[in-house]
Amino acid sequence: MTTVTSLETSDVRFPTSTSLDGSDAMNPDPDYSAAYVQIHTDADDGLEGHGFVFTIGRGNEVQVAAIHALREHVVGKNVEELLDNMGATWRSMVGDSQLRWLGPEKGVMHMAIGAVINALWDLKAKRAGLPLWQLLSRMTPEELVELVDFRYLTDALTPEDALRILRAAEPGRAEREQQLLASGYPAYTTTPGWLGYSDEKLVRLANEAVADGFGMIKLKVGGSLEDDIRRMRLAREAVGPNVRIGTDANQRWGVAEAIEWMSHLAEFDVAWIEEPTSPDDILAHAAIARGVSPIPVATGEHMQNRIMFKQFLQADALQVLQIDATRVAGVNENIAILLLAAQFGVPVCPHAGGVGLCEAVQHLSMFDFVALSGTTEGRVIEYVDHLHEHFVTPTDVHSGAYWPPLAPGGGTEMLSSSRAEFAFVPND
Amino acid sequence: MTTVTSLETSDVRFPTSTSLDGSDAMNPDPDYSAAYVQIHTDADDGLEGHGFVFTIGRGNEVQVAAIHALREHVVGKNVEELLDNMGATWRSMVGDSQLRWLGPEKGVMHMAIGAVINALWDLKAKRAGLPLWQLLSRMTPEELVELVDFRYLTDALTPEDALRILRAAEPGRAEREQQLLASGYPAYTTTPGWLGYSDEKLVRLANEAVADGFGMIKLKVGGSLEDDIRRMRLAREAVGPNVRIGTDANQRWGVAEAIEWMSHLAEFDVAWIEEPTSPDDILAHAAIARGVSPIPVATGEHMQNRIMFKQFLQADALQVLQIDATRVAGVNENIAILLLAAQFGVPVCPHAGGVGLCEAVQHLSMFDFVALSGTTEGRVIEYVDHLHEHFVTPTDVHSGAYWPPLAPGGGTEMLSSSRAEFAFVPND
């Protein structure tokens, strides 16, 4: 019998605000940070589970405290029992009635559960000697359905629906795995598009993106309309007509403003408008989607849980669904969301960037391709060329694609040297 | 010039789980707790601002950490500038881009802002020598509108709408204040209805509620249908046909189950069904409201912010709106929600109980009556006879009504002896 011996947290912050990398209309000066967790066991294999919540600086210590509050759910528990029943493990944490009051199922406490769940998946994949995407792709449809909590979902997705989706994808798994290994998974890049960059830097980076094989780039918008029109024109001239350009407003607008603003950018052939308004506002997104059509609306990186994703899909309030590896309660909840997307026939284009988000989320898209939706049609994973050097298994992105990681684990392990170098020391 | 000298936090927990007070279908064993904040200044008056977030035990330390994370928004600042511009003060905290990432505007971080904002209002009211409800009722419509952040609201409520509502209520303020002082504000009691209580205790407490003058009681439901039918029958027999009986499912159900379950309770003349499903699920509440009509749907105690309240109103997903003093970002955001309710003509029946929620929320309903909606029609404030002895200004509830507090402040100050006695000491 193997036992979890400790849950160790750390507060890691990178001083990214000094370079304006990551600057957008709502987040002018982020310091990319991780509220980090390591799960230790008494097994002889020496394997650890690593996970984190991505934040942008101040308050990272609050996120660390929330992860620490979950220790009694894992420390002292039987490792095999936790890992063999990840559905039950998830439900025991999300269902902790006292902790649930702090959400419910949203914000700091829910993201903390995500970090611990992801760390357990990292450990499970390492013990299996498989990258997470492959571990998930080799589970049976029945095992996958057991991971999902269907409470509050059955008016849109039942366990029977989920089984049907997963069984339909089962025959093609081996073939698609080969295809993935041979061709990678399509990526797009946000590197050129930060608001804080000069026109010259924008054009240079857009040209580089095309040269690097990316079929899509993305620009931050919503600061000044005049600037946005100029930057979109420059970007379109730089990349030509065959590279897609997405836009991202980072929640700046109300309904009327979003529709009006986008009417001025439509001429540049916009791939999507991302986060036009509050991530909580289903009805506003639905109204905006009608108003900016045929430009698709994309959102999800700040969406708190599967219940919100369900409603956005029911209301046709998004046409591109963006999962995030650390916003919801980990791998289990993201599988629920991938199933919802498949049920509604909506493409999933993950949010990534930050620190470690690319490393983590690629596993979910690759699993989705191999064993769930069975397609990459209309799907791209966001990529930002930033901070990858701090990870044990950094992404391999080239020729406009993510190349499948083969190392065991969930991709969520940061180098211990980086954790030590960027450990945050509070003033008080 | 007066300066904020410190923001002091404390972790206060009452061991209520030992008595099953507060037990319901989702929260079997709450330990009522407060993540508490005191704001100190260098003024000669010796006045302090007190506020808190109500939680139910584990994780209260996370909530305390989140309040602590806000210290730089108040410590060292000019007191008059903070208190004279409470709209700007609110926006500076909610708009902190790095902290905002931890929500946005929801969960632990948002509730922490609520505690600090409420503590500032407590200080402002004490400095004015007025109870909070009276302080708010004497502000001009223009001053009140300035407190509200209309971002994400204008598709349902504009500043002009808000001004119109507040101006319409202005002429009757003095008269309604006299009426409030003479007759109190209607209350209802949840004391009889906790799931953990025996039938005998339920009947005894229901009889006592009627004898105490309450016109409405509420029962927790959703554990077992058979038990619910028996308990509703007992309660209806005890209180007779003229006392209203509300029901509260504490988020137990999905859409179909809620409609089915309530069809079995309808014969007992149900005043409302509260929290039938996830507080995040606007579309499900709308479907349930259609399915259980004419029983009204009530919700709000777990609703994360004004943006969700707006959508519930837009979708006719609630017919009774329940504000909570410590779930959203404090007095300012609750004023936004009261304005939304008035705009849609929906009655507000606050959630209370817990620890200190009755003391805090009564101020908002009384202000609403005097200066905003101008009516108590269809409105009752929840009351639970529990833990009031720990507050400097405990509620005065008798003859089925809340009687207006006259002491200066927001009602949010807990006795220092209680804070000391129930200070939580962690094991690690």
Tens digits of per-residue pLDDT, B67-94?
A: 999 999 999 999 999 999 999 999 999 9
B329/B376 same-domain check: yes
* A28: confidence class by pLDDT, cuts 50, 70, 90: confident
ipTM of this complex prediction, to 2 decimal places: 0.96
Residue B416's CB is within 10 A of a number of other CB atoms, namely: 11
Q: Give residue A21's pLDDT.
A: 67
Query: Is a pLDDT exceeding 80 seen at residue A47?
Result: yes
Residue B389 located in a structural domain: yes
pLDDT score at B428: 60
The predicted pLDDT at position B16 comes to 86
Question: Distance (Å, rounded) from C-alpha B64 to C-alpha B10?
Answer: 7
Across A73-82, average pLDDT: 98
Q: Is A217 helix (H, G, I), strand (E, B) or coil?
A: strand
Give the pLDDT band (50/70/90) at residue B21: low
Residue B139 lies in a domain: no
B417 class by beta-carbon count within 10 Å (0-12 exposed, 13-18 middle, 19+ buried): exposed
Rounded distance between C-alpha atoms, residue B409 and residue B428, angstroms: 36
Judgement on whether residues A94 and A222 belong to the same structural domain of the protein: no
Chain B: nearest CA to A357, how far in angstroms?
A: 15
Number of domains observed in the structure of chain A: 2
Is residue B396 very low, low, confident or very high in pLDDT (cuts 50, 70, 90)?
Answer: very high
d(CA B390, CA A290): 53
Residue A30 and residue B97 in contact, taking contact as beta carbons nearer than 8 Å: yes
- Note whether A36 and A172 are same-domain residues: no
Q: Is the residue at B341 inside a domain?
A: yes
In the prediction, which pLDDT does B193 show? 86
Residue A236 belongs to domain with CATH number: 3.20.20.120
CB of B249 closer than 8 Å to CB of B221: yes
Shortest distance between the Cα of B338 and any Cα of chain A, in A, equals: 19
User: What's the pLDDT band for A20 if we cut at 50, 70, 90?
Assistant: low
Higher pLDDT, B29 or B248: B248
Q: Which long-range contacts (CB under 8 A, 24 or more apart) does A395-401 make?
A: A395/A358, A395/A359, A395/A362, A397/A187, A397/A358, A398/A212, A398/A213, A399/A184, A399/A212, A399/A213, A400/A186, A400/A187, A400/A212, A400/A213, A400/A214, A400/A215, A401/A183, A401/A184, A401/A185, A401/A186, A401/A187, A401/A213
Mean pLDDT, to the nearest integer, of B149-161?
A: 97
As beta bridge partners, residue B273 has B247, B297
A10 and A77 in a single domain? The answer is: yes
Does A297 share its domain with A386? yes
Residues of A marked as catalytic = 220, 351
Sign of CA dihedral A222, A259, A106, B425: positive
pLDDT of residue B74: 98
> Is the Cα torsion angle A89, A95, A100, A105 positive or negative in sign?
positive
Test A103 with B98 for CB contact under 8 angstroms: no
Q: Given B71, B105, B130, which residue is the final one in a domain?
A: B130
**Same domain? A175 vs A295:** yes
For residue B22, is pLDDT > 80? no
Looking at residue B1, its pLDDT comes to 86
Residue A147: inside a domain, yes or no?
no
Q: Over 70: is that where the pLDDT of B20 sits?
A: no
Average confidence (pLDDT) over B175-197 = 94
| B323 in Cβ contact with B300 (< 8 Å) | yes
- What would the pLDDT profile of B249-289 be if each residue is shown by its tens digit? 999 999 999 999 999 999 999 999 999 999 999 999 999 99
Task: Kindly state whether B304 is in contact with chain A, defined as any CB-CB distance less than 8 angstroms.
Answer: yes
With CA atoms as reference, the chain B residue closest to A23 would be B97
Going B375 to B376 to B379 to B384, the CA torsion angle's sign is: positive
pLDDT at B196: 83
**For the segment B341-361, what is each residue's pLDDT rounded down to a tens digit?**
999 999 999 999 999 999 999
Is A55 within 8 Å of B311 when comparing Cβ atoms? no
pLDDT at B33 over 70: yes
Task: Please report the residues numbered 91 through 110 in chain B whose beta carbons come closer than 8 angstroms to any beta carbon of chain A.
Answer: 96-110
- Considering the domain architecture, whether residues B236 and B126 belong to the same structural domain is answered as no
Cα B322 to Cα B337: distance, rounded to the nearest angstrom: 10
CATH of the domain at B75: 3.30.390.10
Q: Do A307 and B107 touch (CB under 8 A)?
A: no
Say yes or no: A125 and A207 in one domain.
no
pLDDT at A310: 98
Does a structural domain hold residue B141? no
Residues B88 and B177 in one domain: no
pLDDT of A160 higher than 80: yes
Domain contains A325? yes
Q: Quick check: B184 and B401 in contact, CB under 8 A?
A: yes
> Which of A111, A130, A149 is the last residue before a domain boundary?
A130
Average pLDDT, chain B: 96
Residues A120 and A180 in one domain: no
Confidence of residue A27 (pLDDT cuts 50, 70, 90): confident
Residue B159 near residue B137 (C-beta atoms within 8 A): no
Give the minimum alpha-carbon distance from A25 to chain B in angstroms, rounded to a whole number.
10
* Catalytic choice (B73, B126, B220, B310): B220
- A158 within a domain of the structure (yes/no): no
Condensed to tens digits (0 to 9), the pLDDT of residues B328-346 reads 999 999 999 999 999 999 9
Share of chain A residues as helix, strand and coil, in percent rounded to the nearest 5: 45, 15, 35
Nearest-CA neighbor of A136 among A428, A409, A417, A418? A409
Omega before B104 within 30 of 0, i.e. cis: yes
Least confident of A17-26, A64-73, A379-388, B47-56: A17-26
pLDDT of residue B17: 82
Q: Assess whether pLDDT exceeds 90 at residue A112.
A: yes
Contact call for A110 and B106, based on CB within 8 A: no
pLDDT category, B195, cuts 50, 70, 90? confident
Q: Which of residues 321-360 of A touch B (CB under 8 A)?
A: none
Its pTM stands at 0.97
- Segment A30-50 shows an average pLDDT of 97
A289 in a structural domain: yes
Whole-number Å distance between alpha carbons of A335 and A329: 10
Position with higher pLDDT, B352 vs A18: B352
* Nearest of B363, B367, B366, B410 to residue B391 by alpha carbon: B410
Within 8 A by CB and 6+ apart from A316, the residues are A286, A289
* Beta carbons within 8 Å of B138's beta carbon, 6+ residues apart: B130
A175 and A311 together in one domain: yes
B248 and B303 part of one domain: yes
pLDDT at site A24: 74
> What pLDDT does residue A115 have?
98
Domain boundary among the residues B76, B101, B130 is at B130
Domain housing A172: 167-416
